[in-house]
Amino acid sequence: MANIEKTAILQKYLDLDQRGAIIAEYVWIDGTGNVRSKGRTLRKAIRTVDELPEWNFDGSSTNQAPGHDSDVYLKPVAFYPDPFRKGDNILVLAECWNNDGTPNKFNHRHEAHKLFEAHKDADIWFGLEQEYTLFDEFDNVYGWPKGGFPAPQGPYYCGVGAGKVYARDVIEAHYRACLYSGITISGINAEVMPSQWEFQVGPCPGVNMGDELWMARYLLSRVAEEFGVKISLHPKPLKGDWNGAGCHTNVSTKDMRKPGGMKYIEDAIEKLSKRHAEHIKLYGADNEQRLTGRHETASMSNFSSGVANRGASIRIPRSVAKEGYGYFEDRRPASNIDPYLVTGIMCETVLGAIDN
Ligand code: ADP
Ligand code: MN
Ligand code: MN
Ligand code: MN
Ligand code: MN
């Protein structure tokens, strides 16, 4: 049966009245940096996160728990309108907790949240630039010539026209889905390597940054699934003269955003320079393949900063330097980061550690 016929049949069922019930799709982060989800029926529409029941899943099937004690608990922390099911149906982001009341080993949100709560007065904001690469069902870079390479990098960044841009339909669908779900998506662009794209989320305060980025990644995987396209967050999906993929992390505090804020930005960069190695540890696996000092990156072995310098670890945007306040950009994080780990250590370094 052709796909178009299946879609027509499915539509009959999608139009059926749900009789007051809603579907809540619970989304969580597994042990491999991927998202997983499963759905359940709730009897009525949800207004606040406290109305959402806790749930659980088989952690032995996701490498998150041993088989003899396999229940991992899902604790809802945020919910979003579901762009796939629409109506009152929702996507629920959940933290993973173990049976003994401790956070699951991959629940990095819990610690980050504590840091942000302790530094609430500083009103720290983040903006993440998520880069990613598209692959087809046979694991070739999407749209690339079979068994060959496209012309060298140059025409693809923000490219327009056949042969310069790939999969605009997937990217557009994801953009719209994010807006529908209330994600603070601030833009998209085609990247330097063909079939590599970027979306930006932010500015978002504190723990919301990680929440929204994870949900935006979930939406991307779901949308791409419908098009039969695979999403890779690997920081260097292709060896050679092809750009890697990062997740530039833009940061500001209340003090940095006020006139005279440059003093606080410089102070933060000074603190960052002293913890380079500790940050790099949390800035994504395989990031050494990307941070080579080439392809718009700084070398991983040393720390640097500069105004408008895209070859530095930290960049102060030209407009920020001109006005004397605003935000700075950490260019080191890889595309496959856990945003809770990265925003968490950023908060700790800039604003101070807390007692646990
Ligand atoms: P680039 O020039 O590095 O490609 P982008 O336009 O892709 O920059 O991304 C800039 C990011 O900075 C966006 O995610 C935006 O939300 C974020 N941003 C803007 N202002 C602030 C701020 N005051 N604090 C933190 N992030 C910010
Ligand atoms: Mn079962
Ligand atoms: Mn960008
Ligand atoms: Mn980019
Ligand atoms: Mn950037």
User: Which pLDDT tens digit goes with each residue over 188-242?
Assistant: 999 999 999 999 999 999 999 999 999 999 999 999 999 999 999 999 999 989 9
Rounded to whole angstroms, the Cα distance separating 122 from 125 reads 9
Ligand nearest to the CA of 343: 1
Q: Which ligand is in closest contact with the Cα of 192?
A: 4
Task: Write down the pTM of the prediction.
Answer: 0.97
Two tokens at 13?
A: 């069922």
pLDDT for 31 equals: 86
Atom of ligand 1 nearest to the CA of 202: 16
Phi-psi map region of 189: left, alpha, beta (phi>0 left; psi -120 to 50 alpha): beta
ipTM over 0.90: yes
The closest ligand to the CA of 308 turns out to be 1
Going residue by residue through the chain (356 aa), what tens digit of pLDDT does each one get? 888 899 899 999 999 999 999 999 999 999 888 999 999 999 999 999 999 999 999 999 998 998 888 899 999 999 999 999 999 999 999 999 999 999 999 999 999 999 999 999 999 999 999 999 999 999 999 999 988 899 999 999 999 999 999 999 999 999 999 999 999 999 999 999 999 999 999 999 999 999 999 999 999 999 999 999 999 999 999 998 999 999 999 999 999 999 999 999 999 999 999 999 999 999 999 999 999 988 888 889 999 999 999 899 999 999 999 999 999 999 999 999 999 999 999 999 999 999 87
**Residue-level pLDDT at 355:** 81
What's the chain's length in residues?
A: 356
The alpha helices in the chain, defined as continuous H runs, are 3-14, 109-118, 168-181, 208-227, 262-273, 276-281, 318-323, 339-351
Mutate to test the pocket of ligand 1, among 200, 296, 332 (most ligand atoms within 8 A of CB): 200
Neighbours of 264 (CB within 10 A): 20
- Determine the distance separating the centroid of ligand 1 and the alpha carbon of 220, expressed in angstroms: 20
| Ion ligand 5, residue ranges at CB < 5 A | 129, 248
Q: List residues near ligand 1 (CB under 6 A).
A: 125-127, 129, 186-187, 200, 202-203, 248, 250-252, 257, 326-327, 329
pLDDT at 123: 98
> 3-class DSSP state for residue 193?
coil
Question: How far is it, in rounded angstroms, from Cα 18 to Cα 40?
Answer: 13
Q: Which atom of ligand 1 is nearest to the CA of 326?
A: 23
